[in-house]
Structure 1
Amino acid sequence: MTSLKSYLMAGIAGVAVLATSASASAETWRYAFEEALNEVQGVFAQKFKEEVEANSDHEIQLFPYGTLGESADIMEQAQSGILQFVDQSPGFTGSLIPEAQVFFVPYLLPQDQEQLNEFFRTSKAINEMFPELYAEQGLELLTMFPEGEVCMTTKEPVESPEDLNEVKFRVMTNPLLVESYQAFGATPTPLPWGEVYGGLQTNIIQGQENPMFFIESTKMYEVTDYITCAGHNNFTTAVMANKDFFDGLSEEDQTMVNNAIEAAFDHILEYQQGLHETSMEKIKEAKPDMTFTVLDEEQRKPFQETASSVEEAFVEMTGDSGKEILDQMKADLENVTK
């Protein structure tokens, strides 16, 4: 009887060891992003979480904007390893990785959605050159993706650079974006996102830019009266992992993470189809007297003419590495716009 009891106890202990071993291999990974759960970055993050949890024993904890601080805070947490994953726009990463500011050269990216999506899928600059620059900052660049055409929201109509004269225009803390809006004729004013609505409400600033879905979801239309789409840019964001964390994963887990990123990338491009127009309709319904303006080719010319000076400023800021990135991006864009 004693031997049978000992045998059973040994068996239970063995099962416990196996269970402990299995649970030890299952980890909880933290992922922070710069938007709400129902906005584009949040939708991407939810799809990534779904894919990881369906194909591994790991769990993903999601932290939308504000839960862990401002953009600078979540980047520091990702670099230090407190966060395993982070989604952050080059608009904020630009001070850390100056070459990432290339996405703020106006009129560089195409407006055609299919061409834009193909560029992000196939670009040598994005998929081969940028990962090396991010790695130098302790980050594994997993993907970059577009979030939608950027439009300006202002208190007065904008049809030319002259209309932006002396307008205090909120920009992200990004030197090249400052340069770009100076070239447009505005007075660029860097502000953390948490201060933008109140800044517009109290007239500390008189304008800001964002994709249409974000203007709608954050209710920027409540504190501005005009939305102007000049075709000058498409908001870009980047998903990264802490490099030490990623390099420490098994080959199987690295493949699983990359597959989850690829699935989320495809999902978010499909999700965005028609999002710009749907968001416009929601704004019109909420504020019927909101004025929307899409500048025609003639009206865009004075804005487009500023692109060369911003390009020169970018190369001056970033040197040879920035010029190589810019040249490669132009070559990549030429491949998809032929």
Structure 2
Amino acid sequence: MKLNKLTLSAGVAAAVLAFSSFAAQAETWKYAFEEAMEEVQGKYAQKFKEVIEANSDHEIQLFPFGTLGESADIMEQAQAGILQFVDQSPGFTGSLIPEAQVFFVPYLLPTDQEQLARFYKNSKAVNEMFPELYAEQGLELLTMFPEGEVAMTTKEPVESCADLEGVKFRVMTNPLLVESYKAFGATPTPLPWGEVYGSLQTNIIQGQENPTFFLYSTKLYEVTDYITYAGHNNFTTAVMANKDFFDGLSEEDQQLVERAADEAYDYIVEYQKGLADSELKKIQEAKPEITVTTLSEEQRKCFKDAAADVEAKFIEMTGDSGKEILDQLKADLQAAAE
């Protein structure tokens, strides 16, 4: 009887030890992004969280825009290891990683969403070259994905570059985007996102650009009167992990994080099908008097002509490294088109 008790006690102790060891491995990971929970980055983050939590004992805490500050704040927190994951557009990391500004060379990216989905998934530049550049900044690049064609919203109609002359146009804090709107004829005005609605409302700025879903969810159509599709860009975002954190994970957890990033990518590409059209319809229902224009090829000519100057400026800013990435991106885009 005494032996049975000893055996039972030893078994209980082993079970408790095993449970404690398992519990000690469970971690809470923090993930911040630049949009609201129900916007595209938020939907991606929720899918990422779902995959991690369904296949491990880890927990993901999500922090949508504004909860931890502006874009610059969450990037600093990710680099410092306060955040384990961050989703941020190259538009804001352009100063940190100059080559990432390539995504803002006008008319480089197509408007075809299926071609873009293939491009980001298979691109050598995205999946092999950029990770090295992000690693130099203490970041593990997990994926990049598109969020839709960018539209200009303004207070006056835009049918040519001449219509942007003198327009204070908000851009992200991205040197190449500043050069783009200079080339388009506008007066580029870098502003953090939190100041955009109020600045449009008070006429400090008269225009800005964003994907269609974002125009609706943030109600930017309330403070502008014209939506213009010039076909000049598609919004790109990047999901990253703190590199020291990622490198310190077990091989199993690293594979899980990569799996979650891949599954969330496939989910968000599917989720966005038809999203721009449905959100534009909602804008038109909410504000019937808004004018929506898709520029013709003739109307786009001045913007496309300006794109060559912006591309040259990108190479000037980034040197051989930038040119190599630009050339590879063009080859990758061609492969995705085929």
TM-score where L is the length of structure 1: 0.98
Quote the offset at 1:118 in angstroms.
Answer: 1.1
User: How many percent identity over aligned positions?
Assistant: 75
The corresponding residue for 2:271 is 271
Residue equivalent to 1:284: 284
1:60 and 2:60 matched: yes
The residue number in structure 2 matching 1:134 is 134
Matches within 5 A, 1:1-338: 8-338=8-338
**Which moved further from structure 2: 184-193 or 53-62?**
53-62
**Bigger shift: residues 81-90 or 9-18:** 9-18
Aligned length: 338
SS, match of residue 306 in structure 1: helix
Shift of 1:13: 3.0
Q: Secondary structure at the match of 1:307?
A: helix
Distance, in Å, in 2 between the alignment partners of 1:229 and 1:282 is 17
Residue identity matched to 1:68: L
Shift of 1:335: 1.6
The alpha-carbon deviation at position 36 of structure 1 amounts to 0.3
For the residues of structure 2 that align with 1:112 and 1:240, how far apart are their CA atoms? 25
What is the letter of the counterpart of residue 242 of structure 2?
N
User: Equivalents in 2 of 1:152, 1:33: separation in Å?
Assistant: 23
Residue identity in the other structure for 1:309: D
The Cα of 1:9 is off from its aligned counterpart by: 4.3
SS of alignment partner, residue 305 of structure 1 = helix
Deviation per CA, 1:95-128, whole angstroms, max 9, x where unpaired? 0000000000000001122211111111111011
Using the size of structure 2 for normalisation, the TM-score is 0.98
- In structure 2, how many angstroms separate the alpha carbons of the residues matched to 1:327 and 1:3? 75
State the shift of 1:18 in Å.
Answer: 1.4
Q: Which amino acid aligns with 1:123?
A: S
The 10-residue stretch of structure 1 (237-246 or 116-125) with the greater mean CA deviation from structure 2: 116-125
Note the C-alpha offset of 1:10: 4.0
Conserved 8 A contact 2:113-2:148: no
Amino acid at match of 2:156: E
Amino acid of the structure 1 residue aligned with 2:205: I
